[in-house]
Amino acid sequence: MKYIIIFVVIFSSLNISANSSYNSDLVRDFIDEMHNKHKFDKEELQKLFSTIKEEKKLKKFFKKAPERRLTWNGCELKEKKCINYKGLFVNKSNIENGRKFMSDNSKILKKAQDDFGVPKEIITAIIGIETRYGKNLGKFKTFDTLASLSLGPNKGRRHQFYKDELENFLLLCRENNLNPSLIKGSYAGALGKPQFISSSYRNYAIDFDGDKYADLWGSNADVIGSVANYLKRNGWKRNGKILTDLTKDNDQSYLEKLSKKTYKPHIYYEYLHKNNITSRESIDFKEKLSVIKRIEGNDKIYSFGHNNFYTITRYNRSRLYALAVYTLAEEIKIQ
């Protein structure tokens, strides 16, 4: 009996210690705010915070994010810990599974393409890159993750962003009758097969299978429609170009300079054409473009980036992410 009592005392003290990080003014203020703004029950929120298990390795996951340590398809000698981004996502497995996903979901992909103007291979490529077509949805408890990143002792410089996402996550759970203590996602709080953050889920997720519920975990139709809706509402142009190859006799030094600027289209093609930066494809002189550089082995490749290339970066703010989506889409395209 003595040992049982000691165990209970030790366990209780450990439990208090584990939860003391969230017995703070920041947490109390957040709970008050959720109660005042959205009528959440204070005791229920306190219970949620009291059961948080701090994920102390979150910062390490952010530091290891591929976008931070990679090149497109080749590493220079001076680069350390370089990751081949193209090899990471545009590989045999992703291509084969992407073609299968397109075949299995051909009707709903066609409907999404017709309704939103987003090519079915682009929709598929995003789902493939985000979660391997739904096979890797994330194992982190979303409430714990967002609370840690916004209100916990290890919160970072983007704590306000994650605080807003925590608010949206709780609203999302209430609106969809979900238990916030059971939902899991990525280390950054992204959810479901398309890895929407909570605010994106609430703003862009749609019911595309007609059951009056937008399910980004179990319904491929809703996932496909929601990805297409997201891109459309963030600027996707039906039948618009994504990347355009340049002619080989362009000024390489000038291209190198242009490629270091923003990947948001900002230079009129008329100006580029006058400076001998041209394409064999037909481009309106009044269209704004960017110059996108990538390494293929030992070669530097430059392309024009169009509005739709930039729109893909609204999903993930990375030039290399957009390159991966475009390249994977070209590989899995079914004629």
d(CA 201, CA 217): 11
Among 55, 121, 130, 167, the one annotated catalytic: 130
Structure tokens at 86: 């193209």
Q: Is 303 exposed, middle or buried (0-12, 13-18, 19+ CB in 10 A)?
A: buried
Instruction: Give yes or no: 130 in active site.
Output: yes
CA dist., res. 140 & res. 130, Å (int)? 15
Alpha helix stretches (DSSP H) within the chain? 2-19, 25-38, 42-50, 58-63, 85-89, 92-104, 106-116, 120-131, 142-150, 159-175, 198-204, 220-233, 252-259, 269-274, 307-312, 319-332
- Tokens 């000691």 locate to 6
Q: Which helix (H) or strand (E) holds 295?
A: strand 288-296
Integer Cα distance of 183 and 53 in angstroms: 14
* CA–CA dist 205, 215 (Å, integer): 8
List active site positions: 130
